[in-house]
Amino acid sequence: MKKYRKYMPFRFVFNILLILLEIVSVMALVVLVTIHSRYMLIAEAVTQLAVAIVIIAGRDNPDYKVPWLFFVLIIPVVGFMCYFMFYSRKLSADQRRKLRAWIEQNDVLTDSADACRLVSDSERAYSQATLLKNLSQTHIYTDTYVRYFSLGEHVFPALLDDLNRAEQFVFVESFIIQEGKFWNSVLQILRQKVAQGVEVRVMYDDIGCMRTLPGNYFKTLNKMGIKCVTFSRLRAQANNKFNNRNHRKIIIIDGKIAYTGGFNLADEYINERVRFGHWKDVGIRLEGNAVNEFTRLYLADFGLNSSRGENIGSYYKQSPQVSPGGYVVPFGDGPKPLYERQVAKVALINLLGQAKHHVYMTSPYLIVDNELEQAIENAALRGVDVRLITPHIPDKKAVFSMTRSYYPRLVEAGVKIYEYTPGFIHAKMYSADGDTAIVGTINLDYRSLVHHFENGVWMYRVPAIADMERDFCETQSKSMIVDARMMKEHLPGKFARALLKIIAPLL
């Protein structure tokens, strides 16, 4: 067996301890002042009530408000102190300033002709694409080929082949990078490309790689000539910034080819390393002008985490006019104010609401708010054939227990839920009626739908959708349908799941 790094570098341990010390110190100070001042009790009561009113009156989803109200009202002092430190999910003032400047300089793409073509083909599809355009500030494309990969190990050789042909630049963005066959093979090519004069950039999530890479790995890559930054570097600051992780997976080659999907750059994603049985993941390859949207997303993320400004005009590529059939809308999602609304969640609700015949979904987790749960339920109640595949072998037992807690209501409404018995399904694929689909990094859980930076690709009448639905049916044939026996739970288990559901929006 190969040995894989599974440790936490000192930098992370040190910063986490400082954050905990900061939290304890602030709360201890408040308690100390309370003991020596009778007026402090009145101030605390007024503050507790004011915070509760602000939470109730806010625009956040009720499912996010409930756990905070629970903490603020049930746990004196500690509750509202945690609220002041961790409630806000907005980007910092400096990040907002960078984003505004970047958007003003680089929003030069247009899609008026493609949009007109789509509205004449299908008003239903046009409404979905327009929703994404307005939510995510993206565009519609008709001149892009899409290739679907049903497993991570199918992505691997195609990606290496495309990387070997890179001539101008390669951009890599991943939530997790871990040394092994997958990443080492990619890195070897990247080093060769740097030697050939190709611009290479790598970006990985700092906390996502907390237990897979050395704490200063970005310095190692920079010494190789690779421009590398860590996304939202962990610092000893007690705030909610650490919760907005970058879960995106984007690889761009010369501005002409882009890869995305559920796979990270680690060996379990190509089944070179067995962790939870067979790892089922999917990916897609885009070739054409839609790649420009991913270039824009990537450079925005890179600019957020570096001191240098970005002028991306030189990275946009105009591909030859092709007619592969279908429409493609790449999009991003993330916290406010970059995205004022929950892009992926609204897109999925719209997909479910407009489906006429069937909806097929795969997700490693099922921890959703009432709005999305109701949308899935309503689609089934309208007579739509709604099917969902989740893992049978979990990667996190508590999360798996919460996932199963959503089964009874959905099954009762007519949703067919399956568990992938060979192992862990990490694929994020959502298709409807054989002509519409979304593939990307978006899970059916709060982390993806509320906290993380994510990306996806909406498609309509793209030939690859037939491959996606065929793969779904093959995956379903290897899965077991959820029945009453699997949903049965004893009283202690029900109580534990109820508690987990309360705090689920914060996880």
pTM, two decimals, is: 0.90
Cα–Cα distance measured from residue 378 to residue 414, given in angstroms and rounded to the nearest whole number: 9
Q: Is 243 exposed, middle or buried (0-12, 13-18, 19+ CB in 10 A)?
A: middle
The percent of the chain in helix, strand and coil, each rounded to the nearest 5, is 50, 20, 30
343-506 CATH fold = Endonuclease; Chain A (3.30.870)
Cα 112 to Cα 97: distance, rounded to the nearest angstrom: 29
pLDDT one-digit tens code per residue, 141-173: 998 999 999 999 999 999 999 999 999 999 999
Contacts of 397 (CB under 8 A, 6+ apart): none
Q: Hey, how many other C-beta atoms are within 10 angstroms of the C-beta on 264?
A: 26
How far is residue 201's CA from residue 315's CA, in Å, rounded to a whole number?
A: 13
Between CA 200 and CA 302 the distance in angstroms is 12
- Kindly give the interhelix angle for 78-86 and 62-74, rounded to the nearest 10 degrees: 140
Q: For residue 202, which phi and psi values (nearest 5 degrees)?
A: -135, 135
The residue type at 317: K
How far apart CA 317 and CA 111 sit, in angstroms, is 15
Predicted pLDDT at 98:
66
Angle at 467 between CA 465 and CA 472, to 5 degrees: 95
3-state secondary structure at position 387: strand
Within the chain, which residues score under 70 in pLDDT?
1-8, 85-110, 112, 236-242, 307-311, 313, 321-323, 337, 506-507
What was the pLDDT predicted at 28?
79
Q: DSSP letters along 9-27, please? A: -HHHHHHHHHHHHHHHHHH
Cβ 439 vs Cβ 282: under 8 Å: yes
CB atoms within 10 A of CB 300: 20
pLDDT for the residue numbered 188: 97
Domain spans in the chain, listed from the N-terminal domain onward: 10-86, 93-126+140-325, 343-506
pLDDT, residue 1, reads: 37
Whether 93-126+140-325 and 343-506 share one fold: the answer is: yes
pLDDT digits (tens, 9 = 90+) for 273-314: 998 999 999 999 999 999 999 999 999 889 888 866 666 767
DSSP, collapsed to helix, strand or coil, labels residue 338 as coil
**Own/partner pairs, 24-32, CB within 8 angstroms, 24+ separation:** 26/81, 26/85, 26/238, 27/77, 27/78, 27/81, 30/77, 30/81, 31/77
Q: Are 329 and 138 in contact (CB under 8 A)?
A: yes
Q: Give the 3-state DSSP-derived string for 61-109, with helices as H, strands as E and coil as C.
A: CHHHHHHHHHHHHHCCCHHHHHHHHHCCCCCCHHHHHHHHHHHHHHCCC
Neighbours of 147 (CB within 10 A): 17
* C-alpha pair distances (Å), 178 with each of 6, 7, 216: 10, 12, 14
Superfamily of domain 93-126+140-325 in the CATH hierarchy = Endonuclease Chain A (3.30.870.10)
